[in-house]
């Protein structure tokens, strides 16, 4: 038969063991929950009114804190998902703003770039006559390829994704004003089989890391 002191020691040891197990289980739950957390996405997520088209992570690609100046081009990021068993066509454009809206910019054209351009035929070259004595022999600078209309065909139950690192990019050309962090771009999506266009604003993407600080001026921290 155990003494009273022995029973008290055994009881205290049992309580301590239960407490350690409970804490271990709580800690394990916290680790598992933390592992499931995902990095937030700054892009716009929405869908067409009838649910046939899902629009995910729509945003203007971040470049730097200065953003994009007026009349320049800005790349876009977007993922489109066709929820139907029929082929779908999506035409993306930018709606000129009738009223001044603070922080919302439009573009002259939304187009695709990066696709192979057809080679010029020999008959389309310049005449074979030699240049005159006073003519400049400097080679002409090749013009930048024009954007193709952003008319995107999505197969049944398929998707179309445009990312900054892709060869073919979705671009907003001829910005009406500067497009900087905190501003957004006006867009219109016309979906085949749907009479009402979808009007959206693509937000400016959030940088994955904070911008580097400029070095302080000489003597800034001196009294």
E strands, the chain, where? 44-47, 53-60, 74-82, 88-93, 104-105, 107-113, 148-149, 151-154, 159-162, 169-175, 184-191, 198-203
pLDDT at 207: 82
Global pTM value: 0.65
Q: What is the DSSP code string of 4-60?
A: HHHHHHHHHHHHHHHHHHHHHHHHHHHHHHHHT--PPP-SEEEE-TTSSEEEEEEEE
What's the rounded mean pLDDT across residues 82-99? 90
DSSP classification of residue 208:
S
pLDDT at 114: 73
24 found inside a domain? no
14 found inside a domain? no
Report residue 97's pLDDT band, with 50, 70 and 90 as the boundaries: confident
CA distance 207 to 214: 17
39 found inside a domain? no
pLDDT at 139: 52
What's the rounded mean pLDDT across residues 104-125? 67
Structure tokens at 173: 């050309």
pLDDT at 93: 97
Tell me the CATH number at 86. 2.60.40.1890
73 found inside a domain? yes
97 found inside a domain? yes
120 found inside a domain? no
What's the rounded mean pLDDT across residues 21-25? 49
Examine the pLDDT at 105 and tell me if it is beyond 80. Answer: yes
pLDDT at 115: 58
What's the rounded mean pLDDT across residues 183-207? 93
| Count: domains in the chain | 1
pLDDT digits (tens, 9 = 90+) for 51-80: 999 999 999 999 999 999 999 999 999 999
Q: Are 96 and 106 in contact (CB under 8 A)?
A: yes
**Of the ranges 11-15, 97-101, 151-155, the best mean pLDDT one:** 151-155
Question: Distances from the Cα of 197 to the Cαs of 136, 148, 200, 216, in angstroms?
Answer: 51, 20, 10, 50
* Listed residue (210, 204, 206, 211) closest to 39, CA to CA: 206
Enclosing domain of residue 105? 44-114+146-203
34 found inside a domain? no
**Of the ranges 20-29, 109-118, 149-158, the best mean pLDDT one:** 149-158
For 97, residues 6+ apart whose C-beta sits below 8 A from its C-beta are 104, 106, 176, 186
Structure tokens at 204: 């400016």
Exposed / middle / buried, residue 109 (Cβ in 10 Å: 0-12, 13-18, 19+): middle
192 found inside a domain? yes
pLDDT at 98: 64
């Amino acid at each position: 038969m155990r003494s009273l002191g022995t029973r008290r020691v055994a009881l205290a040891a049992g309580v301590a063991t239960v407490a350690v197990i409970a804490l271990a289980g709580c800690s394990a739950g916290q680790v598992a929950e933390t592992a499931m957390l995902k990095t937030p996405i700054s892009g716009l997520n929405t869908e067409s009114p009838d649910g046939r088209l899902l629009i995910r992570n729509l945003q203007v690609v971040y470049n730097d804190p200065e953003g994009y100046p007026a009349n320049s081009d800005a790349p876009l990021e977007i993922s489109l998902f066709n929820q139907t068993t029929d082929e779908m066509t999506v035409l993306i454009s930018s709606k000129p703003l009738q009223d001044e809206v603070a922080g919302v910019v439009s573009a002259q054209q939304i187009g695709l770039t990066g696709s192979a351009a057809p080679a010029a035929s020999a008959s389309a070259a310049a005449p074979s006559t030699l240049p005159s004595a006073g003519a400049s022999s400097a080679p002409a600078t090749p013009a930048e390829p024009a954007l193709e209309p952003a008319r995107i065909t999505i197969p049944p139950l398929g998707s179309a994704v445009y990312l900054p690192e892709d060869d073919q990019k979705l671009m907003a050309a001829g910005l009406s004003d500067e497009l900087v962090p905190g501003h957004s771009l006006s867009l219109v999506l016309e979906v085949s089989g749907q009479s009402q266009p979808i009007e959206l604003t693509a937000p400016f993407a959030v940088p994955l890391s904070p911008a580097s600080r400029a070095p302080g001026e000489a003597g800034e921290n001196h009294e």
